[in-house]
């Protein structure tokens, strides 16, 4: 089994408890992060009608729910939204929550979508789990319309500069795996999370990879004691 297949299998195993575990571990703050990402993206895009949003590594559909709600709040006409994920288990949960949405089983680096059809592509806390990350960015550029946006929410690797950074690190590496393991009955999955952050890129290097694919970062900021980073890039 390849590394990517192992990651997908792990998400299939924890799909049933994924939402409740996320809410507990983030203390609900992840809702604020997603809300901010959607609102800023709509502001940057500046259109009242959006033909298609593609949410990659959509998981249980959390981000899709925010796109739909915030488009409605801002009176933006959203014609179509599609969820893409290689984990059937996660999408089964999403389909129950969002029966009106189309979901496609596929990886980020190879999506069965036409060229230049998406206004926005989002990936929330998922790019870290994509083994072929640079290939995925090229795929995003292919599927995006000219001037379309990529919206990335992620736990990026950050230097520890002050005491708060060490407190955050202790929570992610010690507390999170224990609580996540108790709720999901799969401690291995929630041990993978901090390890995957440690092995991941800095925000600066992630932006470099986006630029290689023709996606120009226009916004990059860390939130909540540098736990979560939001990057928005435009297809040039």
Q: Which helix (H) or strand (E) covers residue 149, if one does?
A: strand 144-154
Opening angle at CA 123, ends 183 and 20, nearest 5: 15
Residue numbers in the known binding site for S-adenosyl-L-methionine are 60, 85, 124
How many helices and strands in the chain, by DSSP H and E? 10, 9
Report the run of H or E that residue 234 belongs to, with start and end: strand 228-235
Task: Say if residue 15's pLDDT is above 90.
Answer: no
Burial class (CB in 10 A: 0-12, 13-18, 19+), 219: middle
* Closest of 156, 140, 76 to residue 108, by C-alpha: 140
Annotated binding site: 60, 85, 124
Q: Is 53 or 173 the better-scoring residue by pLDDT? A: 53
pLDDT-based confidence at 231, cuts 50/70/90?
A: very high
Q: Kindly report, residue by residue over 82-95, the tens digit of the pLDDT.
A: 999 999 999 999 99
What pLDDT, in 10s, does the model give residues 109-137?
A: 999 999 999 999 999 988 988 999 999 99
List, in order of start, the domains of the chain with CATH numbers. Answer: 3-235 (3.40.50.150)
Residue 24 CA to residue 204 CA, distance in Å, equals 30
What would the pLDDT profile of 168-211 be if each residue is shown by its tens digit? 666 666 666 666 666 667 767 666 666 666 666 788 899 999 99
**Res 21: pLDDT:** 63
């Amino acid at each position: 089994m390849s590394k990517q297949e192992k990651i997908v299998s792990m998400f299939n195993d924890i799909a049933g408890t994924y939402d409740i575990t996320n809410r507990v571990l983030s203390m609900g703050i992840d809702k604020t992060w997603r809300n901010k990402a959607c609102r800023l993206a709509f502001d940057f895009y500046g259109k009242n009608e959006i033909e298609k949003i593609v949410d990659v590594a959509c998981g249980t559909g959390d981000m899709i729910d925010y796109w739909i709600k915030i488009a409605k709040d801002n009176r933006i006409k959203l014609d179509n939204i599609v969820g893409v994920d290689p984990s059937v288990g996660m999408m089964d949960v999403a389909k129950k929550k969002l029966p009106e949405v189309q979901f496609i089983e596929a990886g980020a680096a190879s999506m069965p979508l036409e060229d230049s059809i998406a206004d926005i592509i989002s990936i929330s806390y998922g790019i870290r789990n994509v083994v072929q990350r640079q290939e995925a960015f090229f795929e995003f550029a292919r599927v995006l319309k000219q001037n379309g946006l990529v919206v990335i929410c992620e736990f990026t690797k950050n230097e520890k500069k002050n005491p708060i950074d060490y407190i955050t690190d202790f929570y992610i590496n010690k507390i999170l795996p224990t609580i996540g393991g108790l709720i999901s009955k799969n401690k291995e999955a929630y041990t993978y999370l901090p390890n995957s952050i440690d092995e991941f890129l800095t925000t600066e290097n992630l932006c470099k990879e986006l630029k290689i694919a023709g996606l120009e970062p226009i916004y990059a900021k860390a939130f909540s004691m540098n736990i979560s980073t939001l990057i928005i890039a435009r297809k040039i």
